[in-house]
Structure 1
Amino acid sequence: FHNVSYHQLRQKIGIPLKKIKKCKACALGKITKASFKSKHLRAKGPFEGLHLDLIGPISPTSREGDKYILTVVDSNTRYCSAIPINKKSDVVETLSIIIDYEVKRFGYHPSVLHSDRGGEFINIAMEDYCRKNLIKYRTADHYTPQQNGLAERHNRTIIESLRTILTDSNISRQFWSNVVKVSTLTLNQIPSHRSTKSP
């Protein structure tokens, strides 16, 4: 993601590329915990299975008042949506808007949603939404959010890109919600390691 996304983003927003062998900002942005290998069943078709997660709270709050990022990853295509939201209680409403929009394109609801056991996902509103739309809901085991590996990996990539751009530019950190939208757009243009096509 370092070479493809970050430096493409710099070009797109008009920041000159630096001719350096090692990018200090990228190195700082990639500081993370050791990875946890997990397996999940890949959906047979697009939009059949969605992996959900939440990043945050993020400091500082964005100019729009957002503190979190809701990530939604398609199990089949690896397409990722990253939507800045104000509070955890906005998750179900935001997710329903995303899904309802895609239903118009695909003609069907996803079969399965998968997330960790965060209260923003495990609640009556989410249960009602899934029941109403005949969607199965699966969760990771207690204390093992790494089992939601697909969303976790996308989160890590999004966070790395966000940190890198904010570290290396003069952009105010309050613009992180704008940066994450551009970053995710670029992420979705990169072919999956399992495919030669972009999501």
Structure 2
Amino acid sequence: MFPLEMKPIKGKPAICILTRAANDDRWLWHRRLSHMNFRDINKLELGDLKSHSTIIHTKIIEPLELLHIDLCGSAIESVAYIKYILVVVDDFSRFTWVFFLKQKSKAASNMINFIKKIEVLLRKQVRMIRSDNDTEFKNQVLDDFLVGKGISHNFSTPYTPQQNRVVERRNRSLCEAARTILSFAKLPLYL
């Protein structure tokens, strides 16, 4: 967690906002916040930026009512031989949990352990999960667990990641943030 202490740019500058921001902490926060635009960084500093959790939901009214899950990876292997990333997004708060997996087959067991832990931690029950139609979430072990807990499992139509857009967008943001960190640290991209 980083403290946010910046001086906002007052009014509408006649010069490019990027050149104005070059001498202060805005570039640092631009990178830390996954390339958020400078107008919103100013609003964030002033307290004017509304978070996604303040959006009125018509159906989702509490945390853990709907979890979006997705497994991405296998394109690049990390130094620790981690190939997959399991991403879980709470639809109510947009809070995100990320799990690093060496094998795709561990996705179901990690999901089961996550659901058990988060229900105890938050004292709320997971009611529904939404995932894509891949095999890592379509298996008997996960199905038996979900049926036993009374959790419904919705699948998107095959080959339509747009239907699971909440977690797909989060995957993209996480990948962009990782690339930004690697680039800023001048580390090789294979990491």
TM range (shorter): 0.5 to 0.7
CA separation of 1:41 and 1:3: change in aligned 2, threshold 3 A: farther
Tell me the equivalent position of 2:46. none
For the residues of structure 2 that align with 1:166 and 1:63, how far apart are their CA atoms?
14
1:8 aligned onto 2:25: no
Aligned residues: 145
Larger radius of gyration: 2
Q: Is the 8 A contact 1:51 1:74 kept in 2?
A: yes
For residues 99-158 of structure 1, give each alpha carbon's deviation from its aligned partner in whole angstroms, at most 9, with x where no partner exists. Answer: 111111222331000011011111112211111211000011122121001001101101
Quote how far apart the aligned CAs of 1:4 are. Answer: 8.0
- Structure of greater relative contact order (alpha carbons < 8 Å, 6+ residues apart): 1
RMSD: 2.7
* Identical-residue share of aligned pairs (%): 30
Unpaired runs of at least 5, structure 1? 11-20, 22-39, 176-199
Tell me the equivalent position of 2:113. 97
TM-score with structure 1 length normalisation? Answer: 0.65
Q: One-letter code of the match for 1:48? A: E
Tell me the equivalent position of 2:14. none
Quote how far apart the aligned CAs of 1:95 are. Answer: 1.1
For the residues of structure 2 that align with 1:5 and 1:130, how far apart are their CA atoms?
40
Tell me the equivalent position of 1:57. 74
TM-score with structure 2 length normalisation? Answer: 0.67
Tell me the equivalent position of 1:192. none
Quote how far apart the aligned CAs of 1:161 are. Answer: 0.9
Unpaired runs of at least 5, structure 2? 1-25, 39-56
1:150 aligned onto 2:163: no
